[in-house]
Amino acid sequence: MEPIQRREAALRVIGICGSLRSNSYTRMALHVALRGAQEVGAQIHLIDLCEYHLVFCDGNQNESAYPPDVFRLRADVGQAQGIILGTPEYHNSMSGVLKNALDLMGFAEFEGKMIGLVSVSGGTVGAVDAMNSLRNIGRALHAWVVPEQVAVPEAWKAFDATGQPRHPVLKQRLMEVGRQVARFAYLHTSEQALDFLRAWESAPVNPGAEKR
């Protein structure tokens, strides 16, 4: 697949891992998805929430007592044009650590950006409910959630000891999430694409159209 040809600053795609487990299948899935974004020319970075000291979001407007990592998280996410959210499914929803991290952020970090979704579960059903919740959050934050998404059921047997998907179809699906996030983010931020949209919106009305 041809890499993105971009004259502007390098496109940045991040993954946010909503699992704190040391051998997290969510983290494994995100690494593969991010490789898909890298394959088409994006710079990638994994945000591992176990490396951030965060507080519970309490809705208090006075953030002077927040630890520095809250602001580091916001800055790291704010610099990205594309975001891949990864979570294990707990009780038919996303992990608490990911929800809290999202609650500590807002429009400044997500509005107008492309979001991809990846989730894992230990059972056979998959983690679709967790992704549905994340899709709703993406809409609430005025972000664009890409069509491709991957739920990994029985994640404990989906990856090998090195963290690679055992089945090539799963690998390709995860990488496609990253590719879509990168490509849609490029189209959304490219000056060439924006110039085309501005020209199209300002084009004169076709006089022949009124005769139909």
* pLDDT one-digit tens code per residue, 30-83: 999 999 999 999 999 999 999 999 999 998 889 999 999 999 999 999 999 999
What's the average model confidence in pLDDT over 112-117?
Answer: 97
DSSP states of 80-126: -SEEEEEEE-BTTB--HHHHHHHHT--HHHHTT-EEEEEEE-SSSS-
Q: Is the pLDDT of residue 149 over 70?
A: yes
Q: What is the pLDDT of residue 188?
A: 87
Q: Whole-number mean pLDDT of the chain?
A: 90
CB of 40 within 8 A of CB of 5? no
Q: What is the CATH number of domain 12-211?
A: 3.40.50.360
* Band of residue 7 on the pLDDT scale cut at 50, 70, 90: very low
What's the average model confidence in pLDDT over 144-157?
Answer: 95
The residue extents of the domains of the chain are 12-211
High-pLDDT (> 90) share of the chain, %: 78
**Parallel, antiparallel, or unpaired: how do β-strands 82-88 and 12-17 relate?**
parallel
Q: Helices 168-189 and 25-39: crossing angle, nearest 10°?
A: 50
Cα separation, 152 vs 166, whole angstroms: 12
Give the global pTM: 0.87
* Band of residue 205 on the pLDDT scale cut at 50, 70, 90: low
DSSP state of 159: B
